[in-house]
Structure 1
Amino acid sequence: MTKVGIIVGSIRNNSFSEQIAKNVAPLFPEGFETEFIEIANLPLYNQDYDENSPAEYTAFREKVKSVDAVLFVTPEHNRSVPAALKNALDVASRPWGQSVWDGKPAAIISQSISGLSGFGANHHLRQTLAFLNMPTVQQPEAYLANSQDLVDENGKITREDTVEFLQGFVNAFVDLIKKHTA
């Protein structure tokens, strides 16, 4: 069984990113298991913790170690990733030389309530993942605009063409995972 961790960049309860991620999780094929990895409880990264990490850091690092790949679903904050997501990336990449991200295949879905679709967040996250040595799905790129119009009151994506696009995106991610975990 291949395990895919899903990290939602927004820590807001029932955020659009979380709703989208919950729609994407069932699109993975048989033989793949998804698991949401929480980031809201992580204290801000501080190098002073490298020698004596908080329990939350240790648990988070162990959870990331336990998955084979990571899907990031994130909004854009000020043309970049939310602070909680950047913090999670930092926490699991330290202490220096002990990054638990190393070599894990990744994919990014960015979303925004505007027409820009989280483009800035997507590309800033790609830059960080490249440094962390995480092979990342290049095509198709997943930018979802006007996310408030994509989901109904129950958090389900209402547009079939969006679901079809996301299925193709997941298929490309599965191919990347197979290539790097074989």
Structure 2
Amino acid sequence: MKFVAIVGSNADQSYNRMLLQFMQRQFKIKCEIELLEIKDVPMFNQDDDQSDCFAIRYLNNKIIRADGVIIATPEHNHTITPALKSTLEWLSFRLHPLENKPVMIVGASYYDQGTSRAQVHLRKILEAPGVNAYTLPGNEFLLGKAKEAFDLNGDIINEGTVAFLETCLDNFIQYVGVVSKLRKPRPIEPEDLDCGRPIATTIHGIDPDDPDWLEKASKQVGAVEGDTYVKLDNGLLTVNQLNMFLNAMPFELTYADDNNQFLYYNNKHQEPSTMLGKRVLEQVGNRMSTVHGTLPPARMKNVEWVIGTLRNGNQEYVRTIVPGTPAEIINTHNYQAMYYPDGSYAGINEIIFNFKPWLDWYLEATGQRLVGGTAVAAAPAHADATSGASDAGGSASPVADATSGASES
């Protein structure tokens, strides 16, 4: 499970931040916890709507995609901090990411009560109309005497306290599993598969369906190539090194941006007939409607379903196994949402690979074997071996079209 944890203080030094950082380290096997700060959130003022500012958009997008939220609140004058209250006001004004979202409350304070009164107040706020979050009754973690509670490494010293915190987190994880069944996916709007909504990186003046789009677009924007260096988040590589790195991946990779324009695939020199997801160079730059133009209308709707599901944050990824392939192939596709710095949807990263060699290696390395049938036979729907499009109408877990990212359900 993936949780976001909101630091309920805008102070540089905060025991509540330390508490969340400890949870992040201590329970990394149980769940993924990402810390969110509220330092840059403006003071709430309904006459000066700042719902579109980066800090609020970022929180909104992160919360929408999380399975649950953990809030660590200090206690100021028997209540939560002004910074946290202002943040919750923004997240219940124009935007409502906490609606039907499970929330766990924790808190650390200098004194014995461990933010008990602030937590009671916070529960009332989270239950208010416009917020409508779900909180698990009685699941309270109150860390008192915070100055003495942590060692020099930021770890909680008392083993009994750590055990109780783990119990509270375990309860919350189970609660999230129950509440998730009550959540309704955000409605999917019609997708424009013709690239009709240009974005900041859209290259204008060249028809996306031009078979020479890559060369013409590269020339228009002065794209670098060869041994020109590119500074990445965590590295410095030349364009040639990037190409070698991506082409050496044991996967077929593709990318389409949030304007639904197909922009990249690796393994350029591989014959399309040998690929699980057949691609050709002339498709680079194409509209998604063109890439999947041979699909019948019903299955084009499946393309929209996958894109809309990822765009809305209803799911962070869509995975499928395409049956109907030879026994030595388990045709596996993963459609992963990508995000801009503010957390908004930036397109789809598709990974396609034959899972069979990986499975065989794992079974041999661990001395295990499959029982009860093969993975391919267990696939939930029949699919066309060429397009991968599922015809399992009405299934609870739609099976995506391995070529188009489509589910017919």
TM over 0.5, shorter chain: yes
Counterpart in 1 of 2:148? Answer: 149
Counterparts of 1:5-154 in structure 2 under 5 Å? 5-28=4-27, 30=29, 32-50=31-49, 53-95=52-94, 98-131=95-128, 132-154=131-153
Shift of the alpha carbon at 1:13? 2.2
Q: Would you identify which runs of 4 or more consecutive aligned residues in structure 1 move more than 6 Å?
A: none
User: C-alpha displacement at 1:119, in angstroms?
Assistant: 1.1
**Structure 1 residue 26 displacement after superposition:** 3.6
Alpha-carbon separation, structure 2, partners of 1:179 and 1:153: 38
Stretch deviating more after TM superposition (123-132 or 40-49): 40-49
Per-residue CA deviation, residues 24-55 of structure 1 (Å, 9 max, x unaligned), is: 22454646321111211111122134487323
Following the alignment from structure 1 to structure 2, what is the Cα–Cα distance between the partners of residues 52 and 59? 10
Per the alignment, in what secondary structure is the counterpart of residue 80 of structure 1? coil
What is the identity percentage for the equivalent residue pairs of Structure 1 and Structure 2?
Answer: 29
CA contact (8 A) 2:51 2:90 kept: no
Contact 1:105 1:134 in 2 (8 A): yes
Name the aligned partner's letter for residue 119 of structure 1: S
The one-letter amino acid of 2:99's match is D
Question: Are the aligned partners of 2:51 and 2:57 in contact in 1 as well (CA < 8 Å)?
Answer: no
CA 1:166–1:12 in structure 2 vs 1: closer, same or farther (change >3 Å)? same
Point out where structure 1 has 5 or more consecutive residues left out of the alignment.
none
Letter matched to residue 100 of structure 1: P
Q: Which residue of the partner structure matches residue 170 of structure 1?
A: 169
Letter in 2 for 1:10: S
Per the alignment, in what secondary structure is the counterpart of residue 75 of structure 1?
coil
CA distance in 1, matches of 2:158, 2:50: 49
> TM-score scaled by structure 2?
0.42
Query: Structure 2: which amino acid aligns with 1:4?
Result: F
Structure ID, larger Rg: 2
Residues 150 and 51 (structure 1), Cα distance of their counterparts in 2 relative to 1, 3 Å cut: closer
Query: Scaled by the length of structure 1, what TM-score is found?
Result: 0.90
Q: Distance in 2 between matches of 1:51 and 1:144?
A: 34
> Judging changes above 3 Å, is the alpha-carbon distance between structure 1 residues 105 and 44 closer, same or farther for their aligned structure 2 residues?
same
Give the 3-state SS of the residue equivalent to 1:127 in structure 2. helix
| In structure 2, C-alpha distance between the alignment counterparts of 1:84 and 1:99, rounded to whole Å | 18
Q: Distance in 2 between matches of 1:49 and 1:56?
A: 15
Residue 96 of structure 2 aligns to which amino acid in structure 1? Answer: S
CA RMSD of aligned residues (A): 1.8
Contact 1:139 1:172 in 2 (8 A): no
Answer yes or no: is the 8 Å Cα contact 1:8–1:17 preserved in 2. Answer: yes
In structure 2, distance between residues paired with 1:13 and 1:128: 25
Task: Name the structure 1 match of 2:377.
Answer: none
Paired with 2:153 and 2:104, the residues of 1 have a C-alpha distance of: 25
Q: What is the deviation of 1:12? A: 1.9
Cα distance change of structure 1 residues 149 and 181 upon mapping to structure 2, 3 Å threshold: same
The structure with higher relative contact order (CA 8 Å, sep 6+) is 1
CA distance in 2, matches of 1:17, 1:140: 17
Mind listing any 5+ residue stretches in structure 2 that lack a counterpart? Answer: 182-409
State the 1:158 CA deviation: 0.7
Count of residue pairs brought into register by the alignment? 179
SS at match of 2:37: coil
Q: Determine helix, strand or coil for the equivalent of 2:47.
A: helix
Q: Distance in 1 between matches of 2:56 and 2:120?
A: 26
Match in the other structure for 1:158: 157
Q: Describe the shift of the 1:154–1:29 C-alpha distance in structure 2 as closer, same or farther (beyond 3 A).
A: closer
Tell me if structure 2 keeps the 8 A contact 1:50–1:94: no
